[in-house]
């Protein structure tokens, strides 16, 4: 045994010693200052005993006002505490249990899986039950990580693909410019993709950090950047056109139709003038079955009149020339209506492409909450042709049962 101090010699008989594997009566010599004093020798789970003598993890004291003799527990099986009565800080993946002195089962404490980002964890009964009594540890995460096992980065951080997941610096802070980027997750306020740190830029904004205007845009502000009112590029701060040697500023609209020339340039934006900045994968009409499964809320023949940059979104004003189909809850009539391209805020252009002065067949969806006619990447948008109109009408009546 290991003792801190000793007193007058005495002896104890028939004192029970408990350990992991044995229960045995021994007669050790114990020092106390009075013959009538007696000493208790206690073993707690997590101790070892050999030949009836405690080698480690002993707690001994004399029941006397004048004497006390103490041993210090040396815990095993990832236990901790004065009497090995709890699990060590990082070993709480299952509930603590005392060792079984009859069967010899140690009931070892199990280490939590924290991916190297915690020095301690706590046992949670709810997690234990939900896992089918397989794992109940909840890690106290460090290094800007979170989750039961510190398996993901906190909001505002992303996982560096070049660093091991267990590295202390594997979670890096997002570097997206707060004015030029859109929240990646509005729920937790994350600015970037947590898997790679990519930013989502506002309309007309570019750069890895969304910190400047794209080529062909100017006026970096909280709503993004505005398209240049030029055929080419413009000054990103003032918007002044910068003409190249082969461009004639007096003939910027030489290839435009007469209908598109009547509109003010500052009211129009689309891939019509800035096609190099728009990559639109348009919906292709391959089979009638595919067209019907898209469940479009409306199918119209329209002529694009104007497009307005609202900063956070775009509004495209069109003239409805023919209503081929619409859902029962809609009441679209001929005349002016507004289309709302969903892709404007993410791409900096209207996708699908809607050119001013051009007639289109447009099949899209309805925003039921706000009553808006939506155009997105699932919409069917094609320049109008009479043959296309007849084909779509036939499909709607024959195959889609509209």
Indicate whether 136 pLDDT > 80: yes
Is 340 in the same domain as 370? yes
10 Å CB burial of residue 268 (0-12, 13-18, 19+) is buried
Note the pLDDT tens digit of each residue in 236-254.
Answer: 888 888 754 434 444 333 3
Q: Quick one: CA dihedral 111, 113, 119, 122, positive or negative?
A: negative
Regarding whether 329 and 368 lie in a shared domain, the answer is: yes
Pinpoint the alpha helices (H) of 54-131.
Answer: 125-130
108, 128, 150 - which closes a domain: 108
Assess whether pLDDT exceeds 70 at residue 346: no
Note whether 394 and 297 are same-domain residues: yes
| pLDDT band of 204, cuts 50, 70, 90 | confident
| In-domain check, residue 269 | no
Residue 153 included in any domain: yes
The answer on 74 and 12 residing in a single domain is yes
Of 65, 80, 108, the position where a domain reaches its end is: 108
User: What average pLDDT score do residues 146-166 get?
Assistant: 92
Q: What is the pLDDT of residue 65?
A: 42
pTM above 0.85, yes or no: no
Q: Which band of pLDDT confidence, cut at 50, 70 and 90, is reported for residue 286?
A: low
Query: Does 103 score more than 60 pLDDT?
Result: yes
Closest CA to 69 of 60, 82, 78: 60
Residue 309 within a domain:
yes
How many domains does the chain fold into? Answer: 4
Do 159 and 213 lie in one domain? The reply is no
Q: Are 178 and 191 in contact (CB under 8 A)?
A: yes
- Stretch 330-346: mean pLDDT: 78
Q: Is the pLDDT of residue 340 over 90?
A: no
CATH at 378: 2.40.50.120
Instruction: Provide the pLDDT for residue 66.
Output: 47
Q: State the pLDDT confidence band at 311, using cuts at 50, 70 and 90.
A: low
Confidence at residue 139, expressed as pLDDT on a 0 to 100 scale: 95
276 in a domain, yes or no?
Answer: no
User: Tokens 């969806």 belong to which residue?
Assistant: 365
Instruction: Yes or no: say if 373 and 354 are a contact pair by the CB < 8 Å rule.
Output: no
**Which of 252, 270, 305 is the last residue in one of the domains?**
252
pLDDT at 3 over 60: no
Confidence of residue 280 (pLDDT cuts 50, 70, 90): low
Asked whether residue 315 is domain-assigned, the answer is: yes
pLDDT (0 to 100) of residue 228: 83
Share of the chain above pLDDT 90, in %: 25
Contacts of 182 (CB under 8 A, 6+ apart): 200, 201, 202, 345, 346
What is the predicted pLDDT for the residue at 110?
A: 93
Measured on CA atoms in the order 392, 393, 395, 396, is the torsion positive or negative? positive
Domain containing 160 — which CATH number? Answer: 2.170.300.10
pLDDT tens, 43-70?
Answer: 444 444 433 333 333 434 334 344 555 6
Residue with the larger pLDDT of the pair 22 and 175: 175
Range with lowest mean pLDDT among 9-13, 264-268, 363-367 = 264-268
Residues 163, 187: one domain? no
- In which band, very low, low, confident or very high, does the pLDDT at 310 lie, cut at 50, 70 and 90? low
Checking if the pLDDT of 386 tops 60, the result is yes
Same domain, 242 and 292: no
Assigned domain for 352 exists: yes
Q: How far is CA 26 from the centre of its chain?
A: 62
| Nearest alpha-carbon partner for 395 in 285, 236, 308 | 285
Cα 140 to Cα 93, 146, 197: the distances in Å are 12, 8, 24
The range of the structural domain enclosing residue 329 comes to 288-398
Report the pLDDT averaged over residues 119-146.
93
Asked if residue 125 and residue 30 are part of one domain, the reply reads no
Regarding whether 160 and 183 lie in a shared domain, the answer is no
Q: Is residue 211 part of a domain?
A: yes
Q: Beta strands of 37-117 (E only): which ranges?
A: 38-50, 53-63, 79-80, 86-87
* Distance in angstroms (rounded) separating the CA atoms of residues 293 and 272: 30
Structural domain contains residue 262: no
**C-alpha span between 311 and 197 (Å, rounded):** 24
Q: Which residue's structure tokens are 């096609």?
A: 275
pLDDT at residue 166 tops 50: yes
Residues 124 and 49 in one domain: no
Same domain, 186 and 158: no
Name the band, by pLDDT with cuts 50, 70 and 90, for residue 361.
very high
Residue 95 and residue 25 share a domain: yes
Task: Report, as an integer, the average pLDDT of 196-200.
Answer: 87
Given a cut of 70, is residue 327 above it in pLDDT? yes
Say which residue, 101 or 154, is predicted with more confidence: 154
Q: How confident is the model at residue 37 (pLDDT cuts 50, 70, 90)?
A: very low
């Amino acid at each position: 045994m290991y003792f801190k101090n000793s007193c007058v010699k005495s002896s104890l008989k028939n004192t029970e010693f408990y350990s992991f594997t044995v229960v045995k009566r021994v007669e050790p010599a114990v020092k106390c200052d009075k013959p009538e004093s007696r000493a208790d020798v206690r073993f707690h789970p997590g101790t070892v005993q050999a030949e009836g003598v405690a080698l480690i993890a002993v707690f001994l004291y004399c029941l006397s006002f004048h004497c006390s003799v103490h041993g210090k527990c040396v815990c095993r099986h990832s236990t901790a505490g004065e009497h090995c009565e709890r699990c060590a800080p990082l070993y709480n993946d299952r509930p603590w249990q005392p060792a079984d002195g009859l069967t010899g089962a140690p009931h070892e404490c199990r280490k939590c899986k924290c991916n190297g980002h915690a020095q301690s964890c706590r046992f949670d009964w709810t997690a234990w039950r939900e896992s089918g009594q397989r794992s109940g540890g909840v890690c106290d995460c460090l290094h800007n990580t979170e989750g039961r096992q510190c398996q993901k980065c906190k909001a505002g951080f992303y996982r560096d693909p070049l660093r091991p997941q267990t590295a202390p610096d594997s979670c890096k802070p997002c570097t997206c410019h707060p004015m030029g980027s859109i929240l990646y997750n509005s729920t937790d306020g994350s600015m970037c993709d947590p898997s790679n740190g990519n930013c989502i830029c506002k309309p007309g904004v570019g750069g890895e950090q969304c910190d400047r205007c794209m080529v062909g845009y100017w006026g970096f502000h909280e709503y993004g950047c505005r398209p240049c009112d030029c055929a080419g590029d413009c000054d990103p701060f003032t918007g002044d056109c910068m003409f190249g040697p082969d461009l004639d500023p007096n003939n910027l609209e030489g290839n435009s139709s007469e209908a598109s020339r009547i509109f003010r340039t500052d009211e129009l934006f689309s891939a019509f003038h800035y096609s190099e900045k728009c990559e639109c994968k348009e919906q292709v009409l391959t089979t009638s079955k595919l067209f019907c499964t898209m469940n479009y809320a409306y199918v119209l023949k329209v002529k694009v009149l104007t497009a307005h940059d609202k900063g956070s979104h775009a509004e495209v004003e069109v003239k409805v020339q023919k209503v081929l189909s619409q859902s029962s809850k809609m009441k679209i009539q001929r005349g002016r209506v507004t289309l709302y391209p969903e892709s404007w805020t993410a791409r900096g252009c209207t996708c699908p492409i809607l050119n001013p002065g051009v007639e289109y067949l447009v099949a899209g969806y309805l925003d039921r909450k706000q009553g808006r006619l939506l155009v997105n990447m699932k919409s069917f948008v094609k320049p109008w042709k009479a043959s296309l109109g007849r084909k779509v009408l036939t499909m709607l009546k024959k195959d889609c049962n509209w």
